[in-house]
Chains A and B, each alone.
Chain A
Amino acid sequence: MRLLLVEDERELAGLLKAGLKAAGFAVDHVATAADAEAALISGSYDIAVLDLRLPDGDGLDLLRRRRAAGLTLPVLILTARDSLSDRVKGLEQGGDDYVLKPFHIDEVVARLRALLRRPNQALGVNIVIGNLGLNTMDLRVMVADDPLTLSRRELGLLELFMRRAGRVLTKEVIEQALYGFNEELESNAVEVLVHRLRRKLAGAGATPTIHTLRGIGYLMDDMP
C-alpha cells in the first residue's frame, strides 16, 4: 500500500513515517501543500495522511480542491482538537476520517486500515477481529475455521459492527443503514436483531462481543 504523508513537523513526520512503515505501508513524505498537491496529481497513492496546518496553506482547502478535480483516494486528516468549533464535526460528516493530535500510532494505523476497507474499493476485503472474519465481497463469515450462516440483515449488521469495531453505533445509525426509508419499523427491531446476532456469534464460539450501552448504542470489540 502506497501512502502519502503530508506533515510539516519534521520530528512528528519522522516518527509517523517509522510507525507507518512498520505497519507495512510504503510511505512518501512531503512537508508543504504545494508538494502535496503535486504528489496527489501524480495519482499513484492508495491512501493519504494529511495535516491540516501547512506552512504554505490550509490542508482542507487543498483537499477540497483535489476532490473537486476528481480525487477519490481515502484521506485521513490529522488535526489539533478544536472543541469549540464545528470543524471537526464537518470532517466527520464529510466521509473521510480524522485523528486528533496528539495521537497514538496504533490509532492512526487502525483508522487507515478501516478506510482501506471502505466498500468503494473494487476488491473485496477480509475484515478480521479476533477469531471472526468477514469477506465483504462474497459475505462469507468465518468463526475460527468454520463458516457461520447469517440472515441478510444479520450480515448487514455484522459488517457495520466490524467496520466500526471499538466504536459506538447508535440505534439511529443502525436503523438508517439497515432499513429502507419507508419501511415500517417496530420500535425494538434493532434490539431484536442485535440479540439474534449476539446469540449466533456466541453459539459459534466467536471471541468478539457486542456490548449494549443502554440509551446510547452498541459496540463490538475483542477484549479478553
Chain B
Amino acid sequence: MTAALARWSLKRRLAIRLLIVLTVGVLGPSVVMVGAALWAINSMDDRALQDQAGDIVRNLDITASPPVLRLPAALADSYATSGDSYLYVVLDAAGDILATSSPAAEILAHVADDMSPGVFFLVTRPAGGSPWYAYMTTAGPYFVAVAQGGLHDDTLSDSVMRDLVSFSLVTALPLLAVTLLVTFWTLNRAFRQIERVAGEVRAITPGGAEAHLSSEGLPSEIAPLVAAVNDALFRLGRAYEVEKRFTTDAAHELRTPVAVLTARIDTLPPGATRDSLSADAARLSRLVSQMLDVARLDAAPLPMNEHVDLVAIVREAVAALAPLALRDRRTMEMRAPDGPVIVEGHEGALRLAVTNLVENAMLHTPHGTPIDVEVTPQPAIRVLDRGPGVAEAERASIFERFQRSPSATSSGTGLGLAIVAEIAARHGAQAAVTERPGGGAAFEIRWPDAD
C-alpha cells in the first residue's frame, strides 16, 4: 500500500473499495445477462426460421413432378400481406425457381444458390434497410429457402440491453447507497467511542497516576490498544508514585535534622553567637527547601489544569512575607487590577515562584529599601526593588541553577531564581530581569501576548 493510501481515512478507503466491489458485482452479472439474452434472441430467430421452412416442406408435394406447393389459405395470406417480411423460395438442384412467395424472393434464391443446406445466412435487401435473416433446408431432391426480416433486428437487442442496464442501475444505486450508509453509520458509532477514549486521554493530567481508560463500547479491534495504554499508564503512575514518595521521604529526612538544629540553637542564651547560628540554620533550611522544590519539579510534570487568579495568589504570597519585610524596616506595596487575572496552571507552583522572587529581593537589597509587586492583565507579575540592580551581563545567567551574581550576598542559595524560571516555563511564560527606571531591579514573569 502506498504511503498516500495509508494516510487516507478508513471511511474513504472503504467507500472506494465498496464502490469497486459493487460496480463489478452488479454490472458484471448484468453484462452476462445481456449476452445471454442476445443469444436467446438469436436462437429464437433460428428456430422461427426452421419452423417456417418446415411449414413449406410439409406442404410441398414432392411426389409430383415438378413438385406442387399447396399452402393453407391462412399461411399463404400471411406471406402475401407480410410486405416482404417473410419470404420463401423452392429450388431444384439446378437452382431454378419452382415456387416463390413474391418476386422479392428471387434475391433470396440467388443468394441461396451459394449456400449449403442447414446454414443460416443474411440476404441484403436491394432497397436497403436491415437485411433478411435466411435459412435453407432440403425437401427430397429440392431445396427450400426461407427468410424473414424487420422484426427481430438490432433495435430489439438494443432495447433489451438498455432495459437491463437501467434495471441494474436502478437496483445497484440504492444498494450502493444503503451499503455506504450502513458502513458509515457503523464506523461513526465505533469512532464515537474512540473519540470518547481520546477525550479521556486528553483529560489525563501529569499527576493523574490512577488514570484509566474505559474500554466499554469499543470495537474489539481497538480494545487491545486501550488495554496497552492502560498498562503504560499504570507503569507511569507507579514510577510517578515512587518519585513522589522519594521526595516526600527526602523532605522529611532532610528537614528533621535542620529542625533539631534550629530548636537546639533556640535553647542557647541570646547573643551574637545565637543570632549568627540562627542565620546559618535559616540558610541551610532554605537550601534544603529549594533543593526539594527543584527535585520535585524535575521528578514529574505538574498538573497544569487549575484556573489560578494571579492577583489572589500574589497577594497571599506577599502577605505571608510582609512581616519579614516590616522587620527589615521595608515598605511593601502591591498594585493590581480590581478584578481577577486568571491563568491556567498550577497554583502551588505559581505561589512558590512569587515567594521566591520576593525572597530574592529581600535577600539582595539593603534593609529599609522598598519592595513593590505588580500584577498586570498582560498577564504578568513584577517584583520591583531599589537595590543595586543586576548587571546586564548577568541578566540571563542569573536564572540558571547555582549561577549567583558575583555581587550577591552569601545568604542566597543560587536556586530560587532557577525555580522561578522553571515554573514560568512550565506555564508558557518567561522569567526575566530588567533595570527598573529610577534604579533597582525589575524581575518579571510574563505570559505571551494573548493574540
Residues of A within 8 A of B (CB): 9, 11-12, 15-16, 18-19, 53, 80-86, 89, 101-106, 166-168, 170, 211, 213-217, 219, 221, 223
Within 8 A of A (CB), among B86-143: none
Q: Which one of B158-166, B252-260, B394-402, B432-440 is at the A interface?
A: B252-260
B348: nearest chain-A partner, CB-CB: A84
Q: B142-186 toward A: CB 8 Å interface, digit per residue (1/0)?
A: 000000000000000000000000000000000000000000000
Q: B247-265 toward A: CB 8 Å interface, digit per residue (1/0)?
A: 0100110011011111110
CB proximity of B106 to chain A, nearest CB, Å: 116
Cross-chain contact A12 with B259 (CB below 8 angstroms): yes
Cross-chain contact A15 with B322 (CB below 8 angstroms): no
Within 8 A of A (CB), among B258-296: 258-264, 266-267, 281, 285, 289, 293, 296
CB proximity of A55 to chain B, nearest CB, Å: 11
Cross-chain contact B334 with A19 (CB below 8 angstroms): no
**With known contacts A9-B256, A213-B332, A214-B334, A15–B326 Cβ distance under 8 A:** no
Cross-chain contact A102 with B334 (CB below 8 angstroms): no
Cross-chain contact A219 with B315 (CB below 8 angstroms): no
* 8 tightest A-B CB contacts, nearest first: A215-B334, A102-B259, A168-B319, A15-B263, A102-B262, A214-B333, A101-B259, A83-B352
CB proximity of A21 to chain B, nearest CB, Å: 12
A166, B293: Cα distance in complex, Å: 27
Residues of B within 8 A of A (CB): 248, 251-252, 255-256, 258-264, 266-267, 281, 285, 289, 293, 296-297, 302, 315, 318-320, 322-323, 326-327, 331-336, 346-349, 351-352, 355, 373
A166, B327: Cα distance in complex, Å: 10
Chain A to chain B contacts (Cβ below 8 Å), 18 pairs = A12-B260, A18-B267, A82-B251, A83-B352, A84-B302, A101-B259, A102-B259, A102-B285, A105-B267, A167-B323, A213-B322, A213-B326, A213-B331, A213-B332, A216-B319, A217-B319, A221-B323, A223-B327
**With known contacts A53-B252, A102-B258, A84–B297 Cβ distance under 8 A:** yes
**With known contacts A19-B263, A19-B266, A83–B322 Cβ distance under 8 A:** no
**With known contacts A86-B348, A167-B323, A214-B334, A80–B263 Cβ distance under 8 A:** no
Q: Which residue of B289, B293, B319, B327 has the most chain A CB atoms within 10 A of its CB atom?
A: B319
- Which of B264, B285, B319, B349 is A15 in contact with, Cβ under 8 Å? B264
**With known contacts A102-B281, A103-B262, A81–B322 Cβ distance under 8 A:** no
Query: What are the residues of chain B within 8 A of A167 when measuring CB–CB?
Result: 319, 323
Query: What are the residues of chain B within 8 A of A85 when measuring CB–CB?
Result: 348
- Which of A80, A166, A223 is B252 in contact with, Cβ under 8 Å? A80
- Which of B281, B326, B335 is A219 in contact with, Cβ under 8 Å? B326
Query: What are the residues of chain A within 8 A of B267 when measuring CB–CB?
Result: 15, 18-19, 105
**With known contacts A80-B252, A84-B296, A166–B323 Cβ distance under 8 A:** yes
**With known contacts A101-B255, A101-B259, A215-B334, A84–B323 Cβ distance under 8 A:** no
Cross-chain contact A11 with B260 (CB below 8 angstroms): yes
- A-B contact sample (14 more), CB < 8 A, given A9-B259, A80-B251, A221-B326: A15-B263, A15-B264, A18-B267, A83-B293, A102-B255, A102-B259, A102-B262, A104-B266, A105-B263, A213-B319, A213-B326, A215-B373, A216-B333, A216-B334
